Amino acid sequence: MSTQAPATAAGSPAPTDTAPTDAAPTPMTHREILEALSGLLLAMFVAMLSSTVVTNALPRIVTDLNGSQSGYTWVVVSTLLAMTATTPIWGKLADLFSKKMLVQSALVIYTIGSLISAFAPSMGVLIGGRVVQGLGVGGLTALVQVVIASMVSPRERGRYSGYIGAVFATATVSGPLIGGLVVDSPLGWRGCFFVGLPFAVLAFYVLQRRLHLPVVRREVSIDYLGATLIVGGVSSLLIWVSLAGSSFAWASATTAVLLTLGVALIAAALYVESRVALDPVIPLRLFKDRTTALATLASVMVGVAMFGATVYLSQYFQLARGMSPTEAGLMSIAMVGGLLVSSIVSGRVISSTGIWKRWLVGGLVLVVVGLSLLSTIDADTPLVLVGVFMALVGIGLGSTMQNLVLAVQNNTSAQDMGAASSVVAFFRSLGGSVGVSVLGAVLSTQVAGTVRTGLAEMGVTDTGHESSSIPDLAALPAPIRDLYEHAFGTAVGHIFLVAVPFAILALVCVLFIKEVPLRTTLSDAAEPLGPKSPEASAAGPIEAHAGGATVPVPAARQSPAGNA
């Protein structure tokens, strides 16, 4: 059973020290949930906007700062990497400390990163600022799901997950449009990093006024060693994947060092999480549940397909089709419109029926079909067809992303809700980081090869820049500009083809998930996942804090360790 006291609505008296502890938790009303949700959705909007608003500015940014295709990739990967590495840490902290304070802290970190990025004088500083942004975005991504899970039962969560999907879609639609308009305005690309700041301030204020949750207090054992090993292992592997083939050869001493270091750190992290840590960042016992294990693997594959493939669509529209940033932003409506509709519809239907697996299966079928069709595009494909293909992918992703989290939360006890929710987000972000890195390397290699071959056939030996860099197409002679457009158009189609097998594997994982009817309460655990370690079980008494009062939770009322 949940160790948290009932949520206290705004203006309600806080429970006293003598409040009965064996009464059932009082559910929040729909109005109270919506009031709290307004701030959470603003925070989610900020997190999504941080990625989407800069999408159409990337070609201009890389050109202005004299970057290359690898620089383009790392402006995206740096944020994803920081978000990926810290998501499980934020989720674990949510099981130990005030969720409200953590969300607000994530907003402050995001703001600092945005200011660093806005004033960056070079690609190195910009990438550093994006890392700081990613630290905040990791918190927002993990914590919004955790807070909603602490307020709403799994059966009703579908409706609110639909709202999250709608915000995701809105940020994805408005972000490229806003970013394109800002880039084309006198503010230039630096203005893109100021756009999210008013929303962050507003979200901070609304959360302070409207979000009222009990605070769990218990003996804390933060797994610093495990967190460090996870961050180091993931970072080493992503650096290797993204830079191999461009900065150094795939078969080289640098490859051997990075690959060995990454694998060794991940192996050490697994040992620490399973044998050493009293309160691990990623509780490996969660994966004893088949739904959690398969949904997590599917999330990795969805991350590869979603982040890895779609992040390069803006580059396709601007460099292969000659569009402005604003026009490229308008083209994104096709994909995000489908995502908006399917996320809202699937969420509401799931809440009314309690049946969710068919939406995951159908959504991933559409993702596979949409990516397969997008793999056929080139610089001459009719834009109407490109839009239809994008819409199919959007509809599929809208039915998939939030519902994978919902399936895991339904099989998880309240005491592990933060860790379990963040694990799914962590592996989806990890898949996205790997996808962006791998597909970016594929894109860079293919474009450079096509350009070199084409220039050799033209008899051109010096164009003033490297073939792997992103040029200002408007400044190039028409024949060379056409060559670059053809190279980017063909290469983007090929990276969608590379993404298809990952989507197919996600579909296979979902087919083997056992559908469990959604719970209608916050406190019922679905299945035991096995006992926790004795040290973790003996963590000590748990106290729930609501307002200014402290309510001890007797041992008999605590969730059995290991329920999930």
DSSP per-residue letters across 319-350: IIS---HHHHHHHTHHHHHHHHHHHHHHHHHH
Confidence at residue 264, expressed as pLDDT on a 0 to 100 scale = 95
Can you tell me the mean pLDDT for 176-203? Answer: 84
- Give the confidence band of 538 by pLDDT, cuts at 50, 70, 90: very low
Confidence at residue 362, expressed as pLDDT on a 0 to 100 scale = 93
Residue 132, pLDDT above cutoff 90: yes
Residue 563, pLDDT above cutoff 90: no
- Give backbone dihedrals phi and psi of 362, rounded to 5 degrees, phi first: -60, -40
- Give the confidence band of 464 by pLDDT, cuts at 50, 70, 90: low
User: Where are the alpha helices (H) located in 95-153, listed in sequence order?
Assistant: 99-118, 123-151
- Report whether 430 contacts 23 (CB < 8 A): no
Confidence at residue 392, expressed as pLDDT on a 0 to 100 scale = 93
| Range 517-535 burial, b when 16+ CB lie within 10 A, else e | ebbeebbebbeebeebbee
Residue 183, pLDDT above cutoff 60: yes
- Report whether 448 contacts 470 (CB < 8 A): no
What is d(CA 225, CA 204) in angstroms, rounded to the nearest whole number? 31
Instruction: Tell me the per-residue pLDDT of 283-309, one tens digit each, with 9 for 90 and over.
Output: 888 888 888 889 888 988 888 877 766
- Report whether 214 contacts 545 (CB < 8 A): yes
H-helix or E-strand containing 475? none
Residue 552, pLDDT above cutoff 60: no
Candidates 241, 268, 251, 289; CA nearest to 431 is: 241
Neighbours of 9 (CB within 10 A): 16
- Report whether 411 contacts 289 (CB < 8 A): yes
Sheet holding 549-553, edge to edge: 215-217, 542-546, 549-553
Can you tell me the mean pLDDT for 372-394? Answer: 91
The more confidently predicted of residues 557 and 78 is 78
Instruction: Tell me the per-residue pLDDT of 254-264, one tens digit each, with 9 for 90 and over.
Output: 999 999 999 99
Most trustworthy range by pLDDT among 63-72, 211-220, 506-515: 506-515
DSSP 3-state percent helix, strand, coil across the chain (nearest 5): 70, 5, 25
Instruction: Tell me the per-residue pLDDT of 311-335, one tens digit each, with 9 for 90 and over.
Output: 788 778 888 888 877 787 788 788 8
- Please say whether the dihedral angle defined by the alpha carbons of residues 396, 401, 403 and 408, taken in this order, is positive or negative: positive
The more confidently predicted of residues 304 and 21 is 304
The position carrying tokens 């955790």 is 146
- Give the confidence band of 265 by pLDDT, cuts at 50, 70, 90: very high
Beta bridge pairs of residue 544: 216, 551
- Report whether 301 contacts 431 (CB < 8 A): yes
The more confidently predicted of residues 145 and 495 is 495
Can you tell me the mean pLDDT for 247-273? Answer: 89
- Give backbone dihedrals phi and psi of 248, rounded to 5 degrees, phi first: -155, 160
Supply angle C-alpha 61, 62, 68, rounded to 5: 170
Confidence at residue 527, expressed as pLDDT on a 0 to 100 scale = 40
Confidence at residue 487, expressed as pLDDT on a 0 to 100 scale = 86
- The class (CATH top level) of 30-219+291-459+467-557 is mainly alpha
Confidence at residue 522, expressed as pLDDT on a 0 to 100 scale = 55
User: Where are the alpha helices (H) located in 459-514, listed in sequence order?
Assistant: 478-511
What is d(CA 213, CA 382) in angstroms, rounded to the nearest whole number? 51
- Give CA separation, 252 vs 231, 240, 247, 257, 441, in Å: 24, 11, 11, 9, 16
Confidence at residue 551, expressed as pLDDT on a 0 to 100 scale = 38
The more confidently predicted of residues 34 and 125 is 125
- Report whether 507 contacts 368 (CB < 8 A): yes
Can you tell me the mean pLDDT for 429-450? Answer: 79
Instruction: Tell me the per-residue pLDDT of 397-424, one tens digit each, with 9 for 90 and over.
Output: 888 877 888 888 777 776 677 677 777 7
- Region of residue 315 (phi > 0: left; psi between -120 and 50: alpha; otherwise: beta): alpha
Residue 155, pLDDT above cutoff 90: no
Neighbours of 194 (CB within 10 A): 15
The more confidently predicted of residues 554 and 511 is 511
Instruction: Tell me the per-residue pLDDT of 506-536, one tens digit each, with 9 for 90 and over.
Output: 999 999 988 877 766 655 444 443 344 433 3
- Report whether 302 contacts 430 (CB < 8 A): no
Confidence at residue 114, expressed as pLDDT on a 0 to 100 scale = 92
Confidence at residue 154, expressed as pLDDT on a 0 to 100 scale = 66
**Three-state DSSP state, 563:** strand
Could you give the dihedral angle defined by the CA atoms of residues 438, 439, 445 and 449, in that order, rounded to the nearest 10 degrees?
Answer: 160
Residue 76, pLDDT above cutoff 80: no
What is d(CA 147, CA 512) in angstroms, rounded to the nearest whole number? 29
Confidence at residue 25, expressed as pLDDT on a 0 to 100 scale = 42
What is d(CA 3, CA 25) in angstroms, rounded to the nearest whole number? 10
